[in-house]
Amino acid sequence: MDKILMNQMSFYGYHGLFPEENKLGQRFLVDLQLELDLKQAGETDDMNESINYGQIYEVTQEVVEGEAKQLVEAIAEEIAASLFQSFSKLHAVNVKVIKPNPPIPGHYESVAIEMYRERP
């Protein structure tokens, strides 16, 4: 299956278990790997045979910058569901949501959730 990759999209959201996260917010990064058939798009140079990258970004942004969730897992699940709802050509998606600065003790670069979903 062909793939469209969108990496390190940056958004500001108010997700988390702690009141400070819901009040102050924080940055979230999202990587997407979208699986679909791109043969016709490549042969015809017709955007109607692909998926518009800007629209992918907008759908993802609506989720991450939308209603606050407690878990990063819920953000990833909603991104996948929203993408399937918005793009009929999409066969499967791998969603990675990265939380660069979670309020937990220790030294690390980030915490991330990655999930793969196929069209229901």
pLDDT at 104: 79
- Beta pairing partners, 10: 29
Q: Is 59 exposed, middle or buried (0-12, 13-18, 19+ CB in 10 A)?
A: middle
Please give the distance of CA 81 from its chain centroid, rounded to a whole number: 10
Catalogue the active-site residues.
99
Give CA–CA dist 85/93, Å, rounded: 12
Whether 18 contacts 70, CB under 8 Å? no
pLDDT at 21: 84
Q: Give, for all 120 residues of the chain, the pLDDT tens digit.
A: 999 999 999 999 999 988 888 889 999 999 999 999 999 999 999 999 999 999 999 999 999 999 999 999 999 999 999 999 999 999 999 999 999 988 778 888 889 999 999 998
Give the neighbor-by-neighbor strand order of the sheet with 26-36.
2-13, 26-36, 92-99, 111-118
Identify the structural domains of the chain with CATH numbers, from first to last: 2-118 (3.30.1130.10)
Give CA–CA dist 74/51, Å, rounded: 24
pLDDT at 78: 98
